[in-house]
């Protein structure tokens, strides 16, 4: 115990610690987690869809740009695809930690994604589509970080890491 003002002492809630020990089967979710788990899992699954759609868009643009004899731009698209894939993995891992199931269903990806898939065949249009998608992702992550706030500091930190890489 640590002394505080006016003789008060800071003490941990021993019952909360005991509950956390007993609740190991719930993974990262402790009894004090709060009522937001399902909402956060949904937000994360929508972000997972966004990242996966971005991977597919960047991959398509990579191979299309390569075919247009633009190897430097094609390489840049590939680098972005790999970065988005890492983000998708981070999000999927957090969903599982929260006791959810990451939704990789191809039939619903585009509908759940915040960003659009793009089939442009001209470099300028590809670059524009990717810039728009990055702006959308930045806005979505900013809003999620604000919504989650202190409700789930681990998820918030993961989203802040992804946001810093998107900017």
Question: What are the tens digits of pLDDT across the range 46-64?
Answer: 999 999 999 999 999 999 9
Lowest mean pLDDT of 14-23, 93-102, 118-127, name the range.
14-23
pLDDT value, residue 29: 62
Calculate the dihedral angle through the C-alpha atoms of 35, 41, 42, 43, rounding to the nearest 10 degrees.
Answer: 100
How do 9-10 and 2-3 pair as beta strands? antiparallel
Q: Quick check: 40 and 152 in contact, CB under 8 A? A: yes
Encoding tokens for residue 114?
């915040």
The tally of CA atoms less than 13 A away on the side-chain side of residue 25 is 1
Lowest mean pLDDT of 28-32, 129-133, 157-161, name the range.
28-32
Question: pLDDT averaged over the chain?
Answer: 90
Encoding tokens for residue 36?
């937001």
Superfamily of domain 32-166: Ferritin, core subunit, four-helix bundle (1.20.1260.10)
**Helix (H) and strand (E) counts for the chain?**
6, 2
SS3 content of the chain, % helix, strand, coil (to 5): 70, 0, 25
Q: Quick check: 113 and 52 in contact, CB under 8 A? A: yes
CA 113/CA 34 separation, integer angstroms = 26
- The predicted model gives 35-40 an average pLDDT of 92
Q: Quick check: 156 and 69 in contact, CB under 8 A? A: no
- The predicted model gives 111-135 an average pLDDT of 96
* Maximum Cα–Cα distance across the chain: 74
pTM, 2 dp: 0.82
pLDDT band with cut points at 50, 70 and 90 for residue 2: very low
């Amino acid at each position: 115990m640590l002394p505080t003002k006016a003789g008060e002492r800071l003490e941990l809630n021993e019952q909360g610690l005991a509950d956390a020990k007993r609740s190991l089967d719930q993974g990262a979710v402790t009894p004090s987690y709060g009522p937001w788990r399902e909402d956060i899992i949904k937000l994360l699954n929508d972000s997972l869809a966004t990242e996966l759609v971005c991977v597919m868009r960047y991959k398509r643009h990579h191979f299309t740009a390569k075919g247009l004899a633009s190897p430097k731009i094609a390489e840049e698209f590939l680098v972005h695809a790999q970065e988005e894939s890492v983000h998708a993995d981070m999000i999927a891992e957090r969903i599982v930690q929260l006791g959810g199931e990451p939704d990789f269903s191809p039939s619903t990806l585009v509908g759940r994604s915040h960003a659009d898939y793009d089939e442009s065949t001209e470099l300028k249009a590809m670059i524009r589509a990717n810039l728009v998608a990055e702006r959308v992702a930045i806005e979505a992550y900013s809003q999620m970080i604000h919504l989650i706030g202190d409700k789930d500091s681990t998820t918030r930190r993961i989203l802040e890491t992804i946001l810093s890489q998107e900017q």
